[in-house]
């Protein structure tokens, strides 16, 4: 009976997390369906950076990666009207860094496990997201002007409308000032993003293991009883 209750609770938690994740990504899927082919100038920059770029016919500011397995950079017409060519290249370089680091896929997995277990993981998720943005900024400025990137981040953040499950250029609003200062050399050197990402992902993995442990333990106990007969 205990096993049946535990298995039912686990199935309910998985179903709930799946439903929440599906709803969270619904806006992204709608944007992808409505996205238009990029203009020649934008498509050229995308090809040079090695990422697929599509445009969204909205006046709001949007520059984000959508799609976990086949990521596409979405840029709104509002964003194209805000940014210069140098700023646009810097913004797309940032998004290309996310794609190369598999951030959309990792982010989707993190979102799912965050909903799966009723444990407090918000601090670990914020740490991971902050480190992810620092890493993308660092890679973007290798081939772009850091002032252009800082300017693009501020401009897009003012009218940001990225879906929750996308990986957006502006990141967390409360960390924008710190990121811009680092890009402009005002703040001290940022901590190594790998040193931030690893503990955050390790914490989330521990949460996942802790959440699955009762189910695994019950399954092992049931298997032992079935195969070994009575135990002392």
- Residue 196 exposure: Cα atoms within 13 Å on the Cβ side: 16
pLDDT at residue number 119: 59
pLDDT at residue number 168: 63
**Angle of helix 85-100 versus helix 40-49 axis, rounded to 10:** 40
Q: Provide the residue count of the chain.
A: 232
pLDDT at residue number 53: 97
pLDDT at residue number 180: 87
pLDDT tens across the length of the chain (232 residues): 666 666 676 677 677 777 777 777 787 788 888 899 999 999 999 999 999 999 999 888 889 998 888 899 999 999 999 999 999 999 999 999 999 999 998 888 887 777 776 556 677 778 888 888 889 999 999 999 999 999 999 888 877 655 555 566 656 666 788 888 888 886 544 444 555 556 655 655 665 555 554 444 444 454 444 444 443 3
Q: Which residues of 185-200 are buried (b: 16+ CB within 10 A; e: fewer)?
A: eeeeebeebeebbeeb
Q: Which token pair is 17?
A: 């997390």
Question: H helices within the chain, ranges in order?
Answer: 2-34, 40-49, 77-82, 85-100, 103-116, 122-140, 146-158, 176-184, 193-228
Of 121, 103, 114, which Cα lies nearest the Cα of 20? 114
Alpha carbon distance 10, 114 (integer Å): 14
Q: Name the residue with tokens 């959440």.
A: 211
- Please check whether residue 155 is in contact with residue 61, taking contact to mean a CB–CB distance below 8 angstroms: yes
Q: Is residue 37 within a helix (H) or strand (E), and if so which, with residue range?
A: strand 36-37
pLDDT at residue number 24: 74
**Angle of helix 103-116 versus helix 2-34 axis, rounded to 10:** 140
pLDDT at residue number 194: 55
pLDDT at residue number 207: 54
Q: Name the residue with tokens 């799946």.
A: 18
DSSP state of 231: -
For residue 137, CA distances in Å to 85, 90, 184, 214 come to 18, 9, 12, 40
The residues, any chain, with a CB within 8 Å of residue 155's CB and separated by 6 or more, are: 61, 79, 82, 83, 87
pLDDT at residue number 88: 96
């Amino acid at each position: 009976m205990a096993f049946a209750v535990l298995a039912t609770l686990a199935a309910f938690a998985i179903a709930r997390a799946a439903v929440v994740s599906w709803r969270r990504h619904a806006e992204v899927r709608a944007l992808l369906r409505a996205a238009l082919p990029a203009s020649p100038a934008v498509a050229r920059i995308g090809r040079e950076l090695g990422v697929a770029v599509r445009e969204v016919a909205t006046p709001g500011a949007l520059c984000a990666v959508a799609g976990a397995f086949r990521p596409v950079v979405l840029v709104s017409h509002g964003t194209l009207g805000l940014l210069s060519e140098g700023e646009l290249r810097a913004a797309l370089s940032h998004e290309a860094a996310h794609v190369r680091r598999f951030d959309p896929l990792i982010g989707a997995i993190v979102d799912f496990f965050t909903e799966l277990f009723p444990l407090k993981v918000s601090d670990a998720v914020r740490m991971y997201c902050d480190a992810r943005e620092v890493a993308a900024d660092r890679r973007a400025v290798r081939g772009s002007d850091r002032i252009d990137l800082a300017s693009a981040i501020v401009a897009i953040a003012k009218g940001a409308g990225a879906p929750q499950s996308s990986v957006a250029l502006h990141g967390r609003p409360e960390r924008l000032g710190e990121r811009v200062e680092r890009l402009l050399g005002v703040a001290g050197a940022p901590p190594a993003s790998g040193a931030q990402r690893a503990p955050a992902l390790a914490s989330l993995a521990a949460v996942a293991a802790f959440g699955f442990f009762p189910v695994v333990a019950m399954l092992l106990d049931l298997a032992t009883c079935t195969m070994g007969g009575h135990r002392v």
